[in-house]
């Protein structure tokens, strides 16, 4: 068995594990220049008029999903804070949603509190611990997941795909000797997220895994949960672009962001078949291929983010001029962001208490 690199060294040498502010702090001068040039601090919030603040993280995921034709999304219900459990089960049955299901905060980010739940008892336990607005979705069992970033300049007939991120779910393979806990600790990547995986697999940590048996450690395609993000930009081509132009036309006033989806096969996705959009992201979205450090560098990541910010600026300004989309007023926006910060702290607290 090859020697495992210490966790601190892995985090130091691979920028995918670096703090988020290191990706954005160096680009603040561009934002300041743009704000001064346009004489407006909130200009970028005009990019996606159909989503609250263009999808900066304060929007309802449920409301955003409703912008997409139902044929493209999982069956989904909204669960409001303090809802009776019997009422929730009723809504699930009426929507035709059966276990397992995916639960996630209606306002959320970076995979916080996203869970795959297998039965009513586990759902009830989850709801008792997390009394906030949630969405419950049918679990889509397509084997593949990806994120596709799409931009469309207002007034232009078509848009384009600017980033493709393929997602590889983390797993360990049994050797007939080690238990699951040791397999996680001895895995170069899994050990970085050991606290998450120990919680998810608490009942099986001492179980000896048969030789050759593959244990998938998570079903949630978030980088924060150990999923490997793979740069798939070589897959950008005309057929896929036409498919996503057709999808984007069905989503009103959405010009900039990332579509996260599960799909059966790449060939079917190119044809616009056998896929489900699990999340529609707005301006908070990242071109997540930047986290593939095997195919790029930290400075290449900064360049990619800056390129997307330039598109964001162009889209917002065009929306303002052509479609008369107003730039939000600064004072109410700041008040909303302070409220979001308070909510986010509570979300992080709930996540760590899980």
Using the predicted structure, report yes or no on whether residue 1 has a pLDDT greater than 60: no
Arithmetic mean of pLDDT, 121-149: 96
Report d(CA 237, CA 328) in Å as an integer: 36
Report d(CA 157, CA 147) in Å as an integer: 23
How is the chain split into domains, by residue range?
1-74+140-169+218-316+331-354, 75-139, 170-217
Using the predicted structure, report yes or no on whether residue 2 has a pLDDT greater than 70: no
Using the predicted structure, report yes or no on whether residue 8 has a pLDDT greater than 80: no
**Considering the domain 75-139 in this protein, what is its CATH number?**
3.30.1490.20
Using the predicted structure, report yes or no on whether residue 157 has a pLDDT greater than 60: yes
pLDDT in tens, 98-129: 999 999 999 998 888 999 999 999 999 999 99
Phi, psi angles (nearest 5°) of residue 209: -95, 130
8 Å CB contact between 110 and 222:
yes
Least-confidence region, from 6-10, 148-152, 155-159: 6-10
Using the predicted structure, report yes or no on whether residue 58 has a pLDDT greater than 80: yes
Arithmetic mean of pLDDT, 132-142: 97
Q: Using N-to-C axis directions, what is the helix angle for 28-38 and 298-322, rounded to 10°?
A: 20
Report d(CA 170, CA 167) in Å as an integer: 9
Neighbouring C-beta atoms of residue 327, cutoff 10 Å: 19
pLDDT of residue 311: 98
Report d(CA 318, CA 215) in Å as an integer: 49
Closest Cα partner for 230 from 295, 286, 275, 171? 295
According to DSSP, residue 142 is labeled -
pLDDT of residue 16: 84
pLDDT of residue 5: 77
pLDDT over 70, % of the chain:
99
pLDDT over 90, % of the chain:
86
| Per-residue three-class SS string for 178-228 | CEHHHHHHCCCCHHHHHHHHHHHCCCCCCCECCCCCEEECCCCCCHHHCCE
pLDDT in tens, 64-100: 999 999 999 999 999 999 999 999 999 999 999 999 9
Using the predicted structure, report yes or no on whether residue 32 has a pLDDT greater than 80: yes
Report d(CA 167, CA 223) in Å as an integer: 9
What are the angstrom distances between the C-alpha of 215 and each of 111, 181, 210, 344?
A: 21, 12, 10, 32
Q: How far apart are the first and last CA of the chain?
A: 34
Using the predicted structure, report yes or no on whether residue 41 has a pLDDT greater than 70: yes
Report d(CA 251, CA 255) in Å as an integer: 9
pLDDT of residue 3: 59
pLDDT in tens, 283-342: 999 999 999 988 989 999 999 999 999 999 999 999 999 989 999 999 999 999 999 999
Instruction: Identify the H or E element spanning 339.
Output: helix 330-353
pLDDT band at 221 (very low <50, low <70, confident <90, very high): confident
Sheet containing 275-280, strands listed edge to edge, beginning at the edge strand earlier in sequence: 228-231, 160-168, 144-151, 256-263, 275-280
Arithmetic mean of pLDDT, 206-228: 90
Using the predicted structure, report yes or no on whether residue 13 has a pLDDT greater than 80: no
8 Å CB contact between 105 and 279:
no
Query: Which residues have a Cβ under 8 Å from the Cβ of 319 and sit 6 or more positions away?
Result: 46, 47, 49, 154, 255, 325
């Amino acid at each position: 068995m090859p020697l495992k690199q210490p966790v601190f060294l892995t985090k130091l040498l691979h920028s995918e594990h670096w703090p988020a502010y290191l990706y954005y702090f160096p680009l603040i001068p561009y934002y300041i220049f743009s704000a001064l040039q346009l004489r407006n601090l909130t200009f970028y919030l005009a990019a996606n008029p159909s989503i609250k603040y263009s999808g900066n993280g304060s929007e309802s995921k449920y409301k955003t999903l409703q912008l997409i034709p139902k044929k493209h999304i999982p069956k989904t219900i909204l669960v409001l804070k303090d809802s009776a459990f019997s009422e929730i089960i009723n809504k699930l049955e009426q929507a035709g949603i059966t276990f397992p299901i995916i639960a996630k905060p209606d306002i959320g980010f970076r995979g916080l509190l996203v869970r795959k739940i297998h039965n009513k008892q586990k759902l009830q336990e989850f709801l008792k611990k997390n009394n906030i607005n949630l969405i419950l979705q049918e679990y889509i069992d397509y084997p593949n997941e990806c994120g596709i970033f799409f931009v469309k300049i207002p007034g232009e007939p078509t848009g384009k795909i600017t980033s493709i991120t393929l997602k590889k779910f983390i797993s360990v393979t049994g050797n007939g000797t080690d238990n699951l806990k040791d397999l996680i600790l001895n895995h170069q990547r899994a050990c970085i997220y050991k606290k998450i995986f120990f919680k998810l697999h608490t009942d099986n940590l001492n179980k000896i895994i048969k030789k050759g048996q593959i244990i998938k450690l998570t079903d949630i395609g978030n980088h924060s949960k150990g999923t490997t993000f793979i740069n798939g930009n070589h897959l950008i081509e005309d057929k896929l672009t036409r498919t996503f132009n057709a999808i984007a036309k069905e989503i009103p006033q959405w010009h900039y962001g990332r579509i996260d989806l599960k799909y059966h096969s790449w060939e079917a996705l190119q044809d616009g078949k056998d896929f489900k959009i699990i999340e529609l992201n707005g301006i908070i979205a990242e071109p997540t291929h930047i986290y593939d450090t095997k195919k790029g560098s930290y400075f290449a990541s900064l360049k990619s983010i800056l390129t997307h910010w330039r598109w964001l600026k162009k889209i917002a300004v065009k929306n303002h001029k052509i479609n008369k989309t107003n730039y939000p007023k600064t004072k109410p926006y700041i008040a909303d962001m302070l409220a979001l910060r308070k909510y986010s702290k509570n979300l992080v607290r709930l996540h760590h208490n899980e």
